[in-house]
Amino acid sequence: MENNNKLFAMTVDVEDYFHVSAFESVISPNDWDSLALRVGDNTHRLIDIFNENNVKSTFFTLGWVAERCPELIKRIVNEGHELASHGSNHRRNTALSKNEVKEDILKSKHVLEDISGISVDGYRAPSFSIDESNEYVFDLLVEMGFKYSSSTYPITHDLYGVPSWPRFVHKRKEGIVEIPVSTLLQKGKNKGIGGGGYFRLYPYWLSKRRIESYIRQVNAPYNFYFHPWEIDVNQPRVEQASFKSKLRHYVNLHAMEKKLDMLFKDYAWSTMSEVYKDAIQG
């Protein structure tokens, strides 16, 4: 294992293929229960892969998924991973009223805690949907008892991102610790290197080179995210989605497990609460 003196944070956004923002214009939440549920099996498979590679991860889990897959929630906790909230219904916070955001987050926290029997301390907004228009969400998180958030990705993107926001873990004025997804500073601009579609799109050698550049550039942990549906090559195709959305969602699904295997062998991985414990507990 390379860089084995450094511990990086592995995270999984536990949602199904039909929850993603890229498909929200063509798949209604009213239809979710009529679609084949694949997130349970895919996430169990991920836990198996993590166990094989001595990886611990934070699972930012939708309350909607937890209600339908309670045994998955119990397994996440029982096998030493971290359970965290991804909200209830994968609706972007920027599309909700303040009361709706509060209800969505609080419901997810209660569901996850009731099933797991433990305190849920971390939160990630669906599609990193906290920006300058709704910073009140941080106040809500403090009010609800969350210790940290990982809801910002300071890059330029059509769906999310405030490039001018901090790149590294910090305590916000509201009192909560924010852990942004990792970025690489190149020519004065932040580039996404934290996983997701970028990791599937690029060959592994290029992703690794970018991670190595980050490690050389900064004295800070690296964190990575992906989704259970990204290892699911047989998931149903949403043909009515736009070309751009389908490209983002389906590119290189067949190569994801092999890339993850290399990533797990090259670096040492643990949970957000472990890797950032000094900041969270400080």
Residue 130 is predicted with a pLDDT of 93
Digit-coded pLDDT (tens) for 225-256: 999 999 999 999 999 989 888 888 999 999 99
CATH number belonging to domain 7-281: 3.20.20.370
Q: Which candidate, 176, 171, 206, places its Cα nearest to that of 191?
A: 206
DSSP string across 125-141 = -GGG---TT-THHHHHH
How much is the pTM? 0.95
3-state secondary structure 209-276: HHHHHHHHHCCCCCEEEECHHHHCCCCCCCCCCCHHHHHHHHCCHHHHHHHHHHHHHHCEEECHHHHC
Backbone dihedral region of 175: left (phi > 0), alpha (psi from -120 to 50 degrees) or beta? Answer: left
Q: How confident is the model at residue 22 (pLDDT cuts 50, 70, 90)?
A: confident
> What does the pLDDT look like over 128-170, one tens digit per residue?
999 999 999 999 999 999 999 999 988 766 566 577 788 999 9
Residue type, 131: D
The DSSP secondary-structure symbol of 180 reads P
